[in-house]
Amino acid sequence: MKKLILLILLVSCSATRILVSFDEPIVKTYKVDVSQDDLFINANRWMISIFRDARSVIQFSDKDAGILIGKYLLHHFDSFLNYYAEIYAIIEINVKDGKGLISIKPDNWDYLKANYSSDLYDKEKALSDINALCEDFNKNLQSVNINF
């Protein structure tokens, strides 16, 4: 037990707590040659497809206004030094007049950066995930719905 306490003290002395915050949301606009109804349907289907975890939910949807807002589980981790954490982002989608706008704003989070640690979820990894989400959104907006 004494060795474990000593190990924790040594590790905590060689670590720094880092706060990650996004002052502004990441916003991207895509021009699409699809009808307003199809834009909304494609955006809604996309949101449903990425919200695979029960903790991700669509919070607001208005087809007439072309707005979808959801809380998305961007990342979660569980480690010994970085207590269990869930990182959420608010995704807001607006579709109108042949355009799709996506806005993603992650909540703030912090992590413990130790000298030996390299697999932490930092701002660069979050930006990479957000850009991948935006590109996937754009690809799905372009898709043609098959009606039966």
pLDDT digits (tens, 9 = 90+) for 33-62: 888 899 999 999 999 999 998 889 999 999
Residues 141 and 30: beta-carbon distance below 8 Å = yes
Amino acid in the structure at residue 82: N
Q: Is 91 exposed, middle or buried (0-12, 13-18, 19+ CB in 10 A)?
A: buried
Q: How many Å apart are CA 88 and CA 47, to the nearest integer?
A: 15
Residue 33 forms part of a structural domain: yes
Expressed as residue numbers, the domain containing 105 is: 2-142
Question: How far are the Cα atoms of 58, 74, 126 from residue 52, in angstroms, in the given order?
Answer: 12, 11, 18
89 part of a folded domain: yes
- The pLDDT of residue 146 is 56
Whether 25 is in a domain gets the answer yes
Q: In the predicted model, is pLDDT for residue 148 greater than 80?
A: no
Q: How far apart are CA 127 and CA 134, in angstroms?
A: 10
Domain of 10: which CATH number? 3.30.310
What tokens were used for 83? 């207590």
Would you say residue 7 has pLDDT above 60? no
- The verdict on residue 135 lying in a domain is yes
Task: Check residue 131 and give its pLDDT.
Answer: 97
Indicate whether 147 belongs to any domain. no
The pLDDT score that the predictor gives to residue 13 is 55
In-domain check, residue 148: no
Q: Is the pLDDT of residue 31 over 70?
A: yes
* Structural domain count of the chain: 1
Over 60: is that where the pLDDT of 6 sits? no
